[in-house]
């Protein structure tokens, strides 16, 4: 936004998402990245502001949960619903945004003689490579983001959409209890 890009902020947190969008002069869309209709609505909002050229995927959730419980009972093993939810948001939600945003990007006119139409940045985590105790679901989800980036980049190269992945270390975000 500081360099002139028109930005749409997608978030589940209406207060924080709207505050950020207002701060940067952008638009806010309440969106669950796993909900196709929500993501399409956000993309359509972006298209009203100009051609969609960039997607930054950075949705992420996680709970520190050990694989087995201290008592050795089946009931205390890692909750499968929690594991599924983390994979759904972090990995499947990322792919959902990619597939829909890339579709919109593919409909735009190329920017140059190299057929460039847009760029996608996926946010993984150092946990994709070096997960800690209790990070099985989070590490698996971010490892999946790393693993899908190259094949998706190869796939989207045909329509001029570049895809890269970053894997930052610890960042002060709400996933760690602060994020202020």
- Residues belonging to the active site: 138
Burial of 93 (0-12, 13-18, 19+ CB in 10 A): buried
Question: Which residues make Cβ contacts (< 8 Å) with residue 48, sequence separation at least 6?
Answer: none
Query: Per-residue b/e over 27-47, b at no fewer than 16 CB within 10 Å?
Result: bbbebbbbeeebbbebbebbe
Separation between Cα atoms, residue 18 and residue 27, nearest integer Å: 8
Separation between Cα atoms, residue 42 and residue 35, nearest integer Å: 11
Burial of 164 (0-12, 13-18, 19+ CB in 10 A): exposed
């Amino acid at each position: 936004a500081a360099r002139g890009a028109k930005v749409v902020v997608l978030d589940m947190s209406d207060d924080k998402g709207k505050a950020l969008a207002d701060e940067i002069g952008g638009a806010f869309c309440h969106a669950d990245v796993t909900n196709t209709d929500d993501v399409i609505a956000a993309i359509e909002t972006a298209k009203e502001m100009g051609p969609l050229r960039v997607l930054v995927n950075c949705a992420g959730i996680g709970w520190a949960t050990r694989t087995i419980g201290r008592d050795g009972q089946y009931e205390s093993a890692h909750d499968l619903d929690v594991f599924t939810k983390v994979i759904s948001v972090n990995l499947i939600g990322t792919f959902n945004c990619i597939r829909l945003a890339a579709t919109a990007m593919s409909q735009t006119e190329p920017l140059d003689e190299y057929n460039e139409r847009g760029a996608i940045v996926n946010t993984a985590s150092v946990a994709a490579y070096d997960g800690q105790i209790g990070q099985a679901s989070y590490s698996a989800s971010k490892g999946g983001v790393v693993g899908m980036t190259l094949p998706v980049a190869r796939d989207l190269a045909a329509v001029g959409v570049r895809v890269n992945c970053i894997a930052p270390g610890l960042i002060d975000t709400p996933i760690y209890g602060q994020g202020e």
